[in-house]
Structure formats: structure tokens, C-alpha cells
Structure 1
Amino acid sequence: MSRIVDWFFKALEALLVLLLASMVVMVFGNVLLRYLFDTGIDVSEELSRYFFVWLTFIGAVVVGRENAHLGVETLVARLGDRGRKLCMILSDLLIIVCCAVFFWGTWQQAEINATNYAPITEISMLWIYGVGFFTSIGLGILALLRILRVLTGTISEHELKAFAGDYSDDAAHALRERLE
């Protein structure tokens, strides 16, 4: 199972690279076309915006797996292991609530977005904003799994240190090993 999850996240990382590279080519190509020929490709402008949305939301799930989202560790760093675990559970519960709200909002807008079409590519806007389903489910599952690891006692000491902002070589190395 772990290999499937690892493969899935490697595929997501490859997709992120593809999206970013495509954005660079489309935007740079349009800049050159506008500079040299006073024209541009409208489709590339629209697609690069959509790719940026997808890049951001898919990237949020990838970064969530690596526990690399921004955090405020000032208070958590002063707590012991029990306090850190409690803060971890509370923050993950808040993440799950936010993911549920985000999913519900995406669900409520899905019908409207499905019948709205992009002005140039004429693709359904659900393809653009529907990425909210993926992000809310992905981050919600990651938070739920971390809560389960804390409750079952399988969370590592290194991950607890990283949660509190301790990224010493020892803790960072152990976290990288767990992710690989």
C-alpha cells in the first residue's frame, strides 16, 4: 500500500512539473510573440491561468503530505510531547473542518460551474474549480491519517519535533526517510 501511495505522490509531483513547465512555455512564448510580432495566443493565456490554479491546489496536497505548510511553532515548541500531540490533533481537526467546508462549497458551486464555460477554450469551468474536490479530500485524508497515527502511538518523535519547528539535521533526515 505504501508503494502505491508513494507512486501516487511521485505522479502528482511529475504533474506539477509538467504544469509549471507548460506555464513557462506558454507565458514566455506569448511574451515573445507580443514583442516580436505584436500578437499572442489567447488559448495560452487562459490555459496558463488554469494551470496555475491546478498547480496551487494539487501542490497543497503534496506539501500537506510532507507537513511543509506554514505553521506557527512558537507555542508548540515550548510544549512537551503530550502538548504537541494535543496541538497536532486540534490543528488536524481544524484542517478537516476547513476541508469539509471547502468540499461543501465546491459541491454547491459544481452545478453552476458545470454549465459555465471558459471564454476562449470553452471548457466547463468545473474542470477548473473542481480541483477543490481533490484538494479537500486529499488534505482531509492526510489530516485524518495523522490523527490516527497520533492516537495509535505510531507518530514518530522526529515528526513531533518537526511539528514544533525543530528541523535539525536528525529530525529532517528521519522525516525524509519516512516520506521516501
Structure 2
Amino acid sequence: MVVMVFGNVVLRYAFDGGITVSEELSRFLFVWLTFLGSVAVMRQNGHLGFDLVVRALPRAGRQACRILSDLLMLACCALFLWGAWEQTVLNLSNAAPVSGLPLGWAYASAVLCALGLMLLVGADLLAALRGEDPPGPPHDLAEPGA
């Protein structure tokens, strides 16, 4: 993506021409990179979170909050998947202006993102229901004052 955009800039300024499809393709690739990157970050527990109150709770309270949080995230992911699927199907017949690629391919990245997030959240929910601690540094669920 970087090589494509940089090469197009060089061609545009140095040779007064360029590859017209490179801007559109780089935009599509950036959408895919963003959505698939969010799944990778979720796998590493790298998304922002506010846990000041939850960390002050006893272990049972933390597990209950984790289960509730996972259920809410699954509901949001299901809603996201439904909307992404609708947009993908709706836009498969629309072609991008320059490349002619179906615009549904850009929306398909959101479908894969929603499925990936649902799998990760579902796995975390199953682990929480089994009573396992969440992945991460050991100090995440340390008892306050311990």
C-alpha cells in the first residue's frame, strides 16, 4: 500500500502522470487493514478499556462484570455483523469508479472483522464461564492491596 501510494506520488510529480487505480486500491486495502487490525489487537487485549471500578471488586464481581461485558460485546458484534452483511450484499452490484471492483469487497472486511471479534469474545466468555482468569499480565486481576 505504501509502495503503491509513494510510487504514484513520484510518477505524478516527476513524470506528470500516474496510476489512476492506485489511490482507489490503497483506500480499499486501508479499510481491510483497519478492520483486520482490530481483530489482531483484540486478540492481544490491546483495545482501550476502563477498569478502575472493576479492579476494585472482589474476584467474583470481576468475573460477573467480565461475563456481562462479553455478552454485551457479542450483542454489539452480532448487530455489526448483520449491518456489515447487509451492506456487503447491497454493494456487490455497485462498481468502484476507477477499478471497477465491486464495492461489496470493501464491506466484506467488516463481515470478517465481526466474525473474528465474535469468535474471540465467545472464547473469552467460555473461559470466564469456566472460571479462568483473563489473559494478560498477572497483575490485571490481582486482589486490591495484594
Residue in structure 1 matched with residue 56 of structure 2 by the alignment: 78
Identify the range of structure 1 (88-97 vs 50-59) with the bigger mean alpha-carbon deviation.
88-97
Q: Does 1:102 align with 2:102?
A: no
Residue in structure 1 matched with residue 69 of structure 2 by the alignment: 91
Structure with greater helix share of residues: 1
TM-score (norm 2): 0.87
Query: Partners of 1:92 and 1:31 in 2: how far apart?
Result: 45
Query: Partners of 1:145 and 1:157 in 2: how far apart?
Result: 11
Aligned-residue RMSD, C-alpha: 2.0
Please tell me the residue identity of whatever aligns with 1:36: A
Query: Partners of 2:141 and 2:12 in 1: how far apart?
Result: 47
Residue in structure 1 matched with residue 116 of structure 2 by the alignment: 138
Quote how far apart the aligned CAs of 1:161 are: 4.2
Choose 1 or 2 for highest CA Rg. 2
* Percentage of matched positions with identical amino acids: 49
Residue in structure 2 matched with residue 38 of structure 1 by the alignment: 16
Q: C-alpha offsets along residues 53-103 of structure 1, whole Å, 9 cap, x if unaligned? A: 000001111111111111112222322322222222122112111111111
Q: Of 124, 127, 137, which residue of structure 2 is paired with 1:149?
A: 127
Matched residue SS, 1:141: helix
Please tell me the residue identity of whatever aligns with 1:56: T
Residue in structure 2 matched with residue 114 of structure 1 by the alignment: 92
Long gaps (5+) in structure 2: none
Quick one: structure 1 residues 92 and 159, their matched pair in 2 at CA, closer, same or farther if it must change by over 3 Å?
farther
Q: Is the 8 A contact 2:59 2:141 kept in 1?
A: no
Residue in structure 1 matched with residue 47 of structure 2 by the alignment: 69
How many residue pairs get aligned? The number is 142
Q: Does 1:57 align with 2:35?
A: yes
Q: Is the 8 A contact 1:99 1:136 kept in 2?
A: yes
